[in-house]
Amino acid sequence: MNPGVAAAALAVVSVATAVIGFYGLRISRTTGDFFVASRTVRPWWNASAIGGEYLSAASFLGVAGLLLLSGTDALWFPVGYTAGYLMLLLFVAAPLRRSGAYTIPDFTEARLDSRAVRKVTSLVVVLVGWLYIVPQLHGAALTIRITTGLPSWVGSVAVVVVVCLTVVAGGMRSITFVQAFQYWLKLTALAVPILFIVFMLAGSGTPALAAPAENPTGLAPAGWYTNVSLLVALLFGTLGLPHVLVRFYTNPDGQSARRTTLIVLGLLSVFYLFPTAYGLVGRMFAPDLARSGQPDAMVLLLPRELIGGPAGDLLSALVVAGAFAAFLSTTSGLVVSLAGVISQDVLGAGVGGFRLAAVVSAVVPLGFALMTGSLALAGSVGLVFAFTASTVCPVLLLGIWWRGLTDTGAIAGMVTGGVLCGGAMIAGSLAGAASTPAWLAQPAAWSVPTAFAVMVLVSRATAGRVPKTLVRVMTRLHTPERPLATGR
């Protein structure tokens, strides 16, 4: 790959992101603007922005890489990511919007009337956010290294710098514009090269090098436990991702929150067709990419591999731009939501506190990313989903739908889920990928039900602690808002 072309693509994406972000500075002035874009973002904008944030390094690079390695087994990832969003629509979208809270800890404090719950929730949310940012930075490091030959740390640092500038400048409002732009950029960046490749292959009638069912590296297929547990993690984990939930508050009301989610599902479904196509084409026409040791780079390398010449270079540059957009957008979304949490609970609310919190939210995971090597992107993101599914998801679901939840129960459940899942993740990384048993490698199938069970049992045991504001809060969460005078 021509390093000059790649570097140019990366520079263009970074500059465009920063410019759009600064443009947001002229519009956002109040703290409300900073936190949740003053609840005036319309469904299509919002949906594009959610799609932009949600489609991270794992979706852009990791899914195709896993498909190359494991074939149809890996199709559970894109399906799980999208279906997780469906669960969000069904169980969380409208009530969360109606709660009026800015952040998840806001919601749990309002629902359970307890500052202790708020503190624990904030801690969990920050952990989840940092865990999710690290793979994005790894993805950026990989992209920089493969495409320009620069050292890996340049990629991670570049993402953090651009994100900090954009977030500090405009908070949520500018982020919305940026994210919406980046969804469409990512979609184009992925679609154009693969369509080119498919037409070229179909036209020239080149025979496939390998059958799609053949595993290029002879890896054993994942057992049913891993697939089921992964699906549990993805289905339940999406509900709890902080950068996803924070966008609900930017809708005018509950029904528009649902409509936005519906549009997001459409955008995600269309998007995931393309990594799937890359995976299939890669397995059939470029199986040696799997043996190169960096399957996640497959999307970046395939256009040049199969087309070659200046056209291949240009198409690869397009993909690289899209990949970088993915890291930038997800990281920005996470940093904004984390900054919201940290500044409200630790640094004192207000625009200055938010900016400082944003820098902290971005720099800490950078340190971690620089110290650790990259694991398979989609896999490590799968573990983050498992952690979220075991901590934030139970408190959200039970808080919204069950009257019996108490503050003690919520804390007990979150701590249990966090310790169990976190412990499994640490044990897995210490043991190494090869020697970790399946139940430890993907703990969601047992950590999620356990967290739920603990939350329910402890709440039952402390039934006297049900908040006095229960009736008012539940009514507000579930009843439709008064129709506005405009008659919408």
Residue 316's H or E segment, with its range, is helix 309-345
Q: How many CB atoms lie within 10 A of CB 427?
A: 14
79 binds other proteins (CB under 8 A): yes
Token duo for residue 428: 């897995």
Q: How far apart are CA 95 and CA 78, in angstroms?
A: 26
Token duo for residue 245: 């939930």
> Least distance from C-beta 399 to other proteins, angstroms?
13
Long-range contacts of 124-127 (CB under 8 A, 24+ apart): 124/391, 124/392, 124/414, 124/418, 125/242, 125/337, 125/338, 125/341, 125/392, 126/338, 126/341, 126/342, 126/361, 127/387, 127/418
Q: Cβ distance 308 to 213 under 8 Å? A: no
> Least distance from C-beta 36 to other proteins, angstroms?
10
Total of chain residues touching other proteins, rule CB under 8 A: 59
274 binds other proteins (CB under 8 A): no
Please say which residue, 350 or 367, places its beta carbon nearer to other proteins: 350
82 binds other proteins (CB under 8 A): yes
Please name which of 139, 185, 145, 138 lies closest in space to residue 318, comparing C-alpha atoms.
185
Question: Given the rule CB under 8 A, which of 19-27, 289-297, 341-349, 409-417 is the region that contacts other proteins?
Answer: 341-349
288 binds other proteins (CB under 8 A): no
Please say which residue, 8 or 474, places its beta carbon nearer to other proteins: 474
Binders of other proteins in range 320-339 (CB under 8 A): none
488 binds other proteins (CB under 8 A): no
Q: How far apart are CA 232 and CA 244, in angstroms?
A: 18
Interface with other proteins (CB under 8 A), residue from 7, 8, 25, 83: 83
Q: How far apart are CA 132 and CA 327, in angstroms?
A: 11
> Least distance from C-beta 103 to other proteins, angstroms?
8
Q: How far apart are CA 475 and CA 149, in angstroms?
A: 58
Provide the 3-class DSSP secondary structure of residue 231.
helix
Q: Cβ distance 470 to 403 under 8 Å? A: yes
Site string for other proteins, 411-450 (x = CB under 8 A): ----------------------------------------
Site string for other proteins, 13-32 (x = CB under 8 A): -----------------xxx
Q: How many CB atoms lie within 10 A of CB 127?
A: 17
> Least distance from C-beta 2 to other proteins, angstroms?
31
Interface with other proteins (CB under 8 A), residue from 117, 131, 244, 265: 265
Please say which residue, 87 or 307, places its beta carbon nearer to other proteins: 87
Q: How far apart are CA 476 and CA 482, in angstroms?
A: 11
Please say which residue, 6 or 302, places its beta carbon nearer to other proteins: 302
Interface with other proteins (CB under 8 A), residue from 149, 151, 266, 308: 266
Interface with other proteins (CB under 8 A), residue from 10, 58, 101, 131: 101
> Least distance from C-beta 352 to other proteins, angstroms?
8
One-letter amino acid at 168 equals: V
> Least distance from C-beta 225 to other proteins, angstroms?
14
Q: Cβ distance 318 to 192 under 8 Å? A: yes
Question: Given the rule CB under 8 A, which of 127-135, 149-157, 236-244, 267-275 is the region that contacts other proteins?
Answer: 267-275
- The 10 Å CB-count burial string (b at 16+, else e) for 11-31 is eebbebbbebbeebeeebeeb
Binders of other proteins in range 147-206 (CB under 8 A): 202
470 binds other proteins (CB under 8 A): no
Interface with other proteins (CB under 8 A), residue from 23, 91, 153, 225: 91
Q: Cβ distance 48 to 271 under 8 Å? A: no
Q: How many CB atoms lie within 10 A of CB 221?
A: 13
Binders of other proteins in range 203-222 (CB under 8 A): 212-213
C-alpha dist (Å) from residue 168 to 17, 33, 62, 148, 156: 13, 12, 29, 28, 18
Please say which residue, 131 or 268, places its beta carbon nearer to other proteins: 268
Please say which residue, 351 or 360, places its beta carbon nearer to other proteins: 351
480 binds other proteins (CB under 8 A): yes
Please say which residue, 262 or 356, places its beta carbon nearer to other proteins: 262
- Contact residues: other proteins, CB under 8 A: 30-32, 35, 39, 72, 75, 78-79, 82-83, 86-87, 89-91, 94, 97-102, 106, 109-110, 202, 212-213, 253, 255, 258-259, 261-262, 265-266, 269, 272-273, 276, 280, 344, 348-352, 401, 471-472, 474-476, 478-482
